[in-house]
Amino acid sequence: MAKAKLEYIWLDGSEPTQGLRGKTKIVKDFSGKLEDCPMWSFDGSSTGQAEGGASDCLLKPVFICPDPGRKNGYIVMTEVLNADGTPHPTNGRATIDDEDDDFWFGFEQEYFLWDPETNKPLGFPENGYPAPQGPYYCSVGATNAYGRNIVEEHLDLCLDAGLNVEGINGEVAAGQWEFQIFAKGAESAGDQIWVARYLLERTAEAYGIAVNWHCKPVKGDWNGSGMHANFSNTTLRTAGDKAVYDKICNAFAPADIIKAHIDVYGADNHMRLTGLHETQSIDKFSYGISDRGASIRIPIYTVDNGWNGYLEDRRPNSAADPYKVAARIIKTVKPVS
């Protein structure tokens, strides 16, 4: 009788940034289908999600893919529910209002590969700093690209798992990398980002390397890490009119809306959104065509395609929860589109 390994992963109650947790369930004669993944539970008192006197939290499977790093393995992304079956307060996925998958998201996930022994990014000497920014973006060669073996292994695992990775590249700072994932549907995009993060953590773990998701782990004249959110809905994809884009972009501009977005765009974002290093200041909002210093960039593709396309919100940081980012963007865009 064949046995399968189902790695249930979920988001914990860590503050201000939630982390990934995972545990393995062994199932006999598993079909490989999501509907055949049973509900499960865990000790929420050990993850900051429950009190010890009533510690059970539920895991509701919402996404499954093969686990290419394990024999007879699957990765099961789950939502955390309270014991009564209602969404747990830490469950950002449950806040998404996109039942018809009209919203498409492409997330650009940046991160640093981090040496726990030096407490610095790969490529940084133990004392001092490497050469200034410039040669590391989309770099090749041992003096500019650090950790490529981890990055390539991670890419293969993601593709073998069936995740819709659209590309990878070295980023602006030494030891900094990026992968991009696109999906039709906000929930699916979030699911795939979280599974890809999990696979990256596990891949780097095997090499004794950490993944630093913080948005500004290296102080000074070094780029921070973002998770730019490219998004569209039917209105944006078929607008054919600049005025429609102006209306949607201006919906992001009021002060209370700026705050509502920043509140879910990742902790310590004030360290990254300074108006420097291809960012707008955290307390300001702007948009512009091909402007990487704006809050929202209108891609040149959209303009050249007759104002049919998508927008890029450049403010979400690398540690943000893609579920919460997507939910907030949808909440702002839906009423005006």
CATH for 229-337, options being 3.30.590.10, 3.30.428.10, 3.40.50.300, 3.60.21.10: 3.30.590.10
Per-residue pLDDT of the chain (337 residues; tens, 9 = 90+): 589 999 999 999 999 999 999 999 999 999 999 999 999 999 999 999 999 888 999 999 999 999 999 999 999 999 999 999 999 999 999 999 999 999 999 999 999 999 999 999 999 998 889 999 999 999 999 999 999 999 999 999 999 999 999 999 999 999 999 999 999 999 999 999 999 999 999 999 999 999 999 999 999 889 999 999 999 999 999 999 999 999 999 999 999 999 999 999 999 999 999 998 889 999 999 999 999 999 999 999 999 999 999 999 999 999 999 999 999 999 999 999 9
Look at residues 168, 173, 124, 126 and name the one whose alpha carbon lies nearest to residue 148: 168
Instruction: In whole angstroms, give the CA distance from residue 17 to residue 156.
Output: 27
**pLDDT at 1 (0 to 100):** 56
Distance CA 81, CA 217 (A): 32
- Distance (Å, whole) CA 297 – CA 311: 6
User: Which ranges in the chain belong to alpha helices (H)?
Assistant: 148-160, 186-206, 234-238, 242-250, 255-262, 300-304, 322-333
The CATH number of the domain covering residues in 104-225: 3.30.590.10
pLDDT of residue 54: 87
Task: Classify residue 294 by its DSSP letter.
Answer: S
Class of domain 3-86: alpha beta
Specify the pLDDT at position 87: 98
Q: Is the dihedral of CA 47, 48, 49, 50 positive or negative?
A: positive
Sign of the four-CA dihedral 117, 7, 160, 106: negative
pLDDT score of 278? 86
Per-residue pLDDT, 60: 98
Q: What's the distance, Cα to Cα, between the start and end of the chain in Å?
A: 53
Question: What's the chain's Rg over C-alpha atoms?
Answer: 20
Burial 69-84 (b: 16+ CB within 10 A, else e): beeeebbbbbbbbbee
Q: Roughly what angle, to the nearest 10 degrees, separates helices 186-206 and 322-333?
A: 160
Residues 38, 60 contacting (CB under 8 angstroms): no
- CA-CA distance, 93 to 79, in Å (whole number)? 7
Q: What are the tokens at 30?
A: 């598993």
H/E element holding 296?
strand 296-298
Decide whether 3-86 matches 229-337 in CATH topology: no
Torsion of Cα atoms, 248 then 292 then 192 then 264, to 10°: -60
How many whole angstroms separate alpha carbon 120 and alpha carbon 123? 8
Domain ranges of the chain: 3-86, 104-225, 229-337
